[in-house]
Every structure is written in C-alpha cells, then in structure tokens.
Amino acid sequence: METPLTPLEFARRARKLYGYREAVVDGSLRLTYEQFFERCDRWSAALQAMGVRKGDRVAYIAPNTHEQLESFYAVPQTGAVLVPINFRLTADDFVYITSHSGAKVLCVHPDYLEVVDGVRGRLTGVEHFISLGSAGGRKGWKEYDPLLAKSGPRFDRPDIAENDLLALNYTSGTTARPKGVMITHRNAWMNVMDTLVHFHITVDDTYLWTLPMFHANGWTFVWIITAAGGRHICLPKVEPARVFDLVRSEHVGWLCAAPTVLISLANAPASARGDVPKGVQVITAGAPPAAATIERLEGEFGWNVTQVYGLTETSPFLTICEPRPEHAKLSPTERGVVKAKTGVEMIGAGEMRVVDSEGKEVPMDGEHMGEIVFRGNVILQGYYRDPEATEKVMAGGWFHTGDAAVVHPDGYVEIRDRIKDVIISGGENISSIEVEGVLLRHPAVQEAAIVGLPHEKWGEAPFAFVVLKSGATATEKELIDYTRERLAHFKAPHGVSFVNELPKTATGKIQKFVLRKGAAAIVRQ
C-alpha cells in the first residue's frame, strides 16, 4: 500500500490530534488548530468558487501573517500551486513572477496594494485580486476575511500525487531574471521529515517566525511545526526588541534566521534586549554564519545555534553541521569555529560530493576547493518553463549548487564562496568568507563583506566593506593590519570602506555585485 507523500498528511493528523491546542498567534489573534484549519478550508472553498482548479497557480505577496501561513494549506489542498513572492522585490519583479507563473489569483497584504495597483495594467492574466486585510476603499480588490465569512468550509479535495507541484518558489535573481523553482509535494514532505529527524521539535514547542515564509516555504517550517503540533508565532517584521519580547512572553523555544538577523540580535542594545531567556534553539542558513556570531549567541545568551545549508532548489536543506559529543568539550571559541562549518549530508537529503572542474572529488584536506553537487529526494523537479536552465543545473545527473567548498579530514564540508565570488589573486584562491570571519572577530566590527577587484599586478585583490558597531571606531590601516596578523598576507584587504549598512536581499544575502560596483568607483577616485 502506498499513500502519496505530501505535507497535507501532517495537516490531517494535526487536526485530528491537536484540534483543541493553540496553533497560531498573530498579534492579538489566537487560533486553535481546529479554527486554523477551518479558515484554510473556507479559503479553499472560496478559491474553488472563483474557478481555481487543480494545477492553477495562486500567488501571494505578504509578510509573515496568519493569512500567509493559511496559504500553505488552503492552496495545495485544492491541488493548486502556491507562488509565495518575496515582498521586498520591485514592482517589475512582481509583474514578471505573477505573469511567468501564470497566476490566476493574486493575494496581497495591504502594505503592497498601492505598488500592485501601480502595475495592475500589466497583470493581465490575474482574474482575482484579493486584499489580505482592509483594501481601504481601493477599487478592484476583494477582501479576504469577508470572503471567508461568506464561504462554507466544504470544498472538493482532488487526488494529489506526490510528484504533483506544490509550490513555485522564485529565486532572488540578483543578476538574471528570477527562476521558478518547482517543488513537489514529495520534495516538501522529504524536507519536513528530514528536519524532524535532526531536530526534536515536539507538541510542547513554540516557534517564532523570524524567517520569511516566502523563502523556500519558510524552509518548510510552515509544515514542520504543524506536523509536531507546536505553536506558530507570526512576526511580520523582524525588530530585535520585538523578537526578545516574544521570546519571553510566548516562551519561544525555536527560531530560524539568516546570519544577518543573528548579528542584529547579538548586537541589540541592552534596552532592546532585556533579560534574554536561555536555551533557545536557533537554526541558521542562507549565508555562512561567522564563528564570532555563533560564539556570542551561545556564550552571552546561552542559546544553541545549529547551521544547516541548502538552496531554494533543494527544498531547501542539504547539510547540517551535526553536533557531536566531542564538540561539547571544546571552549566556546573552538566550538564556534566547528559550528561555522557547513556540515555533513542530512540523513534523508541524499548524496553530496565536492568535485573539481573535471567532476573528480577533491581530497579531504580542508584546502582543495570544488563545487558542491548533490543528488537525492529534495532536488527540484525543474525550473518552471525553462528546460535549458533545468538541464544545465542537473548536468551529469547531479544538481550543481554553484557553491565552492572544501572537505575537512573529518568529512565536514565548509563553503568558501559562491563559485563566481571566489577571488583569485596572484594565482591563489582567496575565500571572502574566511577574510570576513577574521574581520568579524575585531571588537569594533559589526558586519563585513569582502569583494574582489581587478588589480594590475595580482589579477584580483580583496577589498573590504565594514559596518562598525554603534559608538566603536577603527581605521582602515588598523583593520588591514589586524587581518594581516591573522591570515596569509595576500588575503588581507587592499582597502577598507566604512559604510552604514551592507546591501542585502530580503533573504539575508549580501549583494556583492552592488558592492563590487561601489568598490570600483572608490578605487578609481
């Protein structure tokens, strides 16, 4: 006997077992699992009444609210495909993604109605515009809650096969057009189960939504927490004071966040922090976390940080920096260094290799860099309407991540850069992540980014952008000397530019192409 692998199964079970338990907190609203799923059913019925059928696409532009969380059940249980759009993208991107996905219905948080109205003339394929709150009298919008109230909870549940599409998750598209990553029900189910194997989340646990739900389906925590019967605490905007407040008042035990969010928590002023409860389990990914950040969260807050790694294309988790008993004996500084490694294959993700340009595995010496390639059950079905890009990324039967890494003698992999960001200076590879990690240990440095710039003699040379901690000072020479004392001299930055903030994507990645342009202009001056 086989039942299709789909996260909707977790919803069925949670409703039966945990219906009376609190499921979702969003501001002053509190919903039990029964109330939450009833709302999802009503929205499924409303979508079907609008003509949404199996395979149709329904797009969302929304921060982390309960309406956004509802979309991860209400849309797929009708057999339709969810398209959660990054709300920090431009109006042009909204048009591109909505049109490319062929979405029939576009659901928009009130904060983004104006932007969408500005490009409405170009959204010709959209049949229904839904405001996920008051539309404030704007024309052409139907409001979500009145539609739910009018709709009954009955809808037609189509058969769903595990390889049916669940979501189209568009990549951030820093230089090229965003690509639609096709994630199936089976992909998502695998990621949920695999995460639950490594992280023991229980019915007694509370999860804070510091990670955007649109980012790879909230790393599938939209379903993981429900599968466990835990509580979702929605958080539309990440402000350190609010995070610490909720950790205290809702007894938060778990959160996921990109390293940049962790840096902002670690550096929050005492007035924003208050008493920080110990024991919060933090899962971080999206960019490499620095050892210094991990050390501070563990040493000062008594939190436990675990790094995972993956891509939107891989549902998303591939590796975990698995804690081992021998790590417990290390000093916080040594442990920070171990925990900053990317890690090992997750149990259910599949097989990882780090290969050179000929496809040969690099030696396990912590020195030779290669590309991480992967095959297994979490790999995307393909890029939507883009067979060429799909073929390219799957060349030779392996998914090519574009991440450059070394393998240590203990088998732990460590990402050194995106392949395109590796700096080659005088024939030597320089890992920007390694140099950034050293700068982040300087007491005055809050954030750092290294980019490669053309150099007459060396081909390329590293250049640093640094954000100083509030009230702290440091000179360019001091930071260059600091790096030279700790790394081979050719890795030290040739120049440092002090900035108020680093340009980042909504998913916490530093936009190095923006910095490269800025650095080139500074050097030319």
What 3-state class would DSSP assign to 71?
helix
Considering only residues 283, 285, 380, 440, which one is a binding residue for ligand AMP as defined by CB under 6 A?
285
SS3 147: helix
Q: Is 338 one of the binding residues for ligand AMP (CB under 6 A)?
A: no
Question: Which sign, positive or negative, has the C-alpha torsion 327, 330, 335, 338?
Answer: negative
In terms of Cα–Cα distance, which of 488, 421, 494 is closest to 464?
Answer: 494
Nearer to ligand AMP, 218 or 230 (CB): 218
For ligand AMP, which stretch binds (CB under 6 A), given 44-52, 93-101, 285-293, 472-480? 285-293
Q: Does 504 bind ligand AMP (CB under 6 A)?
A: no
Q: Which is nearer to ligand AMP, 42 or 339 (CB)?
A: 339
DSSP 314: G
Task: Select from 68, 281, 312, 431 the one that contacts ligand AMP (CB under 6 A).
Answer: 312
10 Å Cβ neighbour count for 311?
A: 24
Residues 416-435 that bind ligand AMP (CB under 6 A): 418
- Is residue 86 near ligand AMP by the rule CB under 6 A? no
Rounded CA gap, 227 and 374, in Å? 27
Stretch that binds ligand AMP, among 112-120, 309-317, 447-455, 490-498 (CB under 6 A): 309-317
Is 507 a binding residue for ligand AMP by CB under 6 A? The answer is yes
Q: Assess 216 for contact with ligand AMP (CB under 6 A).
A: yes
Alpha-carbon distance of 72 to 220, in angstroms, equals 10
DSSP per-residue string spanning 415-484: EEEEGGG-EEETTEEE-HHHHHHHHTTSTTEEEEEEEEEEETTTEEEEEEEEEEPTT----HHHHHHHHH
CA dihedral 29, 110, 316, 55 (to 10 degrees): 100
| Contact set for ligand AMP, span 170-189 (CB under 6 A) | 171-172
- Give the binding range for ligand AMP (CB under 6 A) out of 126-134, 189-197, 396-404, 473-481: 396-404
> CA gyration radius for the chain?
23
User: Closest separation between CB of residue 462 and ligand AMP, Å?
Assistant: 18
User: Is residue 286 near ligand AMP by the rule CB under 6 A?
Assistant: yes
CB 420 within 8 A of CB 509: no
* Cβ count within 10 A of residue 313: 28
Measured distance CA(436)–CA(490) in Å, rounded: 14
Closest separation in Å from C-beta 288 to ligand AMP: 4
Which of 79, 316, 376, 462 forms a contact with ligand AMP (CB under 6 A)? 316
For the bound state, the minimum distance from the C-beta of residue 75 to ligand AMP, rounded and expressed in Å, comes to 21
Nearer Cβ to ligand AMP, position 399 or 482? Answer: 399
Q: Judged by CB under 6 A, which of 287, 393, 445, 519 binds ligand AMP?
A: 287
Give me the amino acid identity at 9. Answer: E
d(CA 336, CA 323): 11
* 164 forms part of the interface with ligand AMP (CB under 6 A): no
Count, residues in the chain: 525
Torsion of CA 36, 217, 346, 230, to 10 degrees: -20
Task: Work out which of 209, 214, 309, 412 binds ligand AMP, going by CB under 6 A.
Answer: 309
Listed residue (243, 313, 284) closest to 64, CA to CA: 243
> Residue from 77, 187, 401, 432 that binds ligand AMP (CB under 6 A)?
401
Is 78:54 a contact under the CB 8 Å cutoff? yes
Residues of span 437-496 touching ligand AMP by CB under 6 A: none
Judged by beta carbon, residue 228 or residue 311, the one nearer ligand AMP is 311
Size of site (CB under 6 A) for ligand AMP: 19
Task: Report 15-34 residues binding ligand AMP (CB under 6 A).
Answer: none
Residue 433, C-beta contacts closer than 8 angstroms, at least 6 positions apart: 288, 415, 416, 417
Give Cα separations from 78 to 44, 46, 279, 333 (angstroms): 6, 11, 39, 50
Exactly one of 84, 180, 288, 437 binds ligand AMP (CB under 6 A); which one?
Answer: 288
When asked if residue 384 is in the footprint of ligand AMP (CB under 6 A), the reply is no
For ligand AMP, which residue of 281, 293, 342, 432 counts as binding (CB under 6 A)? 342
- Spatial distance between the Cα atoms of 372 and 37, rounded to a whole number of angstroms: 40
Q: Judged by CB, which is closer to ligand AMP: 31, or 311? A: 311
Q: Does 311 bind ligand AMP (CB under 6 A)?
A: yes
Rounded-to-integer distance, Cα 63 and Cα 61, Å: 7
Out of 415, 461, 474, 496, the residue judged to bind ligand AMP by CB under 6 A? 415
Please, which residue, 205 or 403, has the CB nearer to ligand AMP?
Answer: 403
Q: Which stretch binds ligand AMP (CB under 6 A): 30-38, 42-50, 118-126, 308-316?
A: 308-316
Q: Which is nearer to ligand AMP, 288 or 336 (CB)?
A: 288
Q: Which residue number, 129 or 221, has a Cβ lying nearer to ligand AMP?
A: 221
User: Is the Cβ of residue 132 or residue 294 nearer to ligand AMP in the bound state?
Assistant: 294
Residues of this chain that bind ligand AMP (CB under 6 A): 171-172, 216, 285-288, 307, 309, 311-312, 316, 342, 401-403, 415, 418, 507
